Structure 1
Amino acid sequence: MRYLRGKLNLSQQKVADDLLITRGRYGKYEDDAASPPNEILIKISKYYNVSIDLLLTINLSKYSIDEIMELPDNRIVLPIRVDHNGNDQIEIIPHKASMGYLNGYGDPEYIEGLDTISLPFLKGGKFRAFPADGDSMPPYKNGTYIVGKYVENLSDLKTDRTYVFITTNDGISYKRFQFHEADGIWVKADNSFYEPYKIPLPDIKEIWEFACSINTIEYGADEFAERNIQNFITEIKTDIRQIKEKMGEKK
């Protein structure tokens, strides 16, 4: 509380007056000589625009207070550390523990315990690295990390752009956004073997827009040759479908 008040250049008397309590009483809360009752704690939370769980569980001096106040519900997606050059550290969600992220994404201690990297060319947002899994989004395969930029609002999603979706059912999934519906959003895999599907809005916990990828496994020459043939066949199929559609329109 003292840190928050200092960042806003407020006196104890000013805050106490705004909270409708005495300065002495407020001072005891800052000195941890007394604990505020629930109704005062709620007032303090609203006054500083910082959620109660942040007030009670983490050291706010590690964060930029301006960024905390701008985030919906003060979510813990802000940079926890910076390197010696002042670059934001990007948390890495490990492959083996990726499912644990669903339980720990809102836990400050879990986030602080993650390994980090710094990518100075990524600016203007909060970034996090997630493991790719399966064959639904070629050419990204197991061993690849997708670095995503945090998306605050569903309205910011762009058709045919790729995103990492954190959901209650699938955990971490990397898919291409298609369109909104009233109660959900439709996404699809780049691998045509998989059908598009809808994610209900209540299931969505976080969304991260693709920023870059980090490959940790080298592709062999034969893999590229095979992929080029697949791409060529896909292009031919697309061209044939478009020709048929045009012929149907002429009829």
Structure 2
Amino acid sequence: MLSTNLKYLRKQQNLTQVQLAEKLEIKRSLIGAYEEGRAEPKLATLQRMAQVFQVSVDQLISPDLPNAFKSGSANNRSNVKVLSITVDSQDRENIELVPYKASAGYLNGYADPEFMEELPKFRLPMIQSPGTYRAFEIKGDSMLPIPSGTVIVGRYVEDWQEIKDGTPCIVVSLQEGIVFKRIYQQQRSSALRLHSDNPSYEPYVVKLEDVVELWEAKAYISTTFPLAEISLDKLTSLVLDLQQEVQKLKTVK
């Protein structure tokens, strides 16, 4: 679908073949050849195209983008996405783990098969329902009593409208990066409202156009066991006290 998608995306950005060729640093005649299906670009050129149009290489060459966009509203265009996945020796999908240190790289490499291949992988026998799963290590205390360092296993959500209000999700967005929150749909608005379980954190809104991926939380893995007979309010108070003590130590230095 490269020839169709390339022509469609170029016209969507009101670019001439000459202008696109300048952005890609190639000859104009090559753009014409690609759009007419007379030639195929090299991988490096494909990657530059994907950057110019802000899509993945998979999106550029796989789906019929004009028909895909016509079949949904503008708010659903972010759902036109092809996930990069890995499989085991028996052709079963792995669960890729995105460690916290790899979070920044994930935003740039989530559609790159080579990046995904480098991530740790595992399987969970208790998860049998169909779908694509991915695991993300979270940091911070915004979702207490789930502690920092917990690994959240999520199922990929193709249509955000299927998610019920209050569902805990991993939200991957251009502005906020990777966060673990409960999501609520904004009435009459193309946005999601993100809530923390820790009342010390205020809710905030993320525009749907900035959402790259949405993963419904299905399980979590933690090496920290919950404290016995301690309320969430008390736990939050303890964390705040610790933060104040740390701030005092910084001030003394």
TM-score range, shorter chain: 0.5 to 0.7
Structure 2 regions of 5+ residues with no counterpart? Answer: 2-31, 41-54, 63-77, 236-253
Distance in 1 of aligned mates of 2:175 and 2:94:
28
Q: CA deviation at 1:229?
A: 7.2
Which residue of structure 1 aligns with residue 57 of structure 2?
53
Whether 1:118 aligns to 2:123 is yes
Larger Rg, first or second structure (1 or 2): 1
2:220 pairs with 201, 213, 216, which one?
A: 213
Shift of 1:156: 1.3
TM-score (norm 1): 0.60
Structure 1 112/196 Cα, relative in aligned 2: closer, same or farther at 3 Å?
same
CA separation of 1:55/1:165 partners in 2, compared to 1, >3 Å: closer, same or farther? closer
Contact 1:93 1:101 in 2 (8 A): yes
> How far did residue 40 of structure 1 move?
3.6
Deviations 1:192-213 (A, max 9, x none): 1111111112211100001100
Per the alignment, in what secondary structure is the counterpart of residue 229 of structure 2? helix
Q: Is the 8 A contact 2:170 2:214 kept in 1?
A: yes
Shift of residue 92 of structure 1? 0.4
Q: What secondary structure, in the 3-state scheme, does the structure 1 residue paired with 2:101 have?
A: coil
Query: How far did 1:94 drift?
Result: 1.2
Shift in CA distance, 211/83, structure 1 to aligned 2, threshold 3 Å: farther
Q: Distance in 2 between matches of 1:208 and 1:146?
A: 10
CA positional deviation for 1:126? 0.2
> Are 1:175 and 2:171 counterparts?
no
- How far apart are the structure 2 equivalents of 1:103 and 1:52? 10
Aligned twin of 1:89? 94
In structure 1, the gaps of 5 or more residues are 2-35, 45-50, 59-70, 232-251
The Cα offsets for residues 110-130 of structure 1, whole Å up to 9 and x where unpaired, read as 112111001122220000000
Partner residue, 1:189: 196
For residues 215-235 of structure 1, give each alpha carbon's deviation from its aligned partner in whole angstroms, at most 9, with x where no partner exists.
Answer: 1x2336xx333237749xxxx
Same amino acid, percent of matched pairs:
32
Equivalenced residues, count: 174
1:185 is displaced (CA, Å) by: 1.1
Contact in 2 for aligned 1:83/1:89 (Cα 8 Å): no
**Alpha-carbon separation, structure 2, partners of 1:106 and 1:130:** 16
SS of residue matched to 2:57: helix
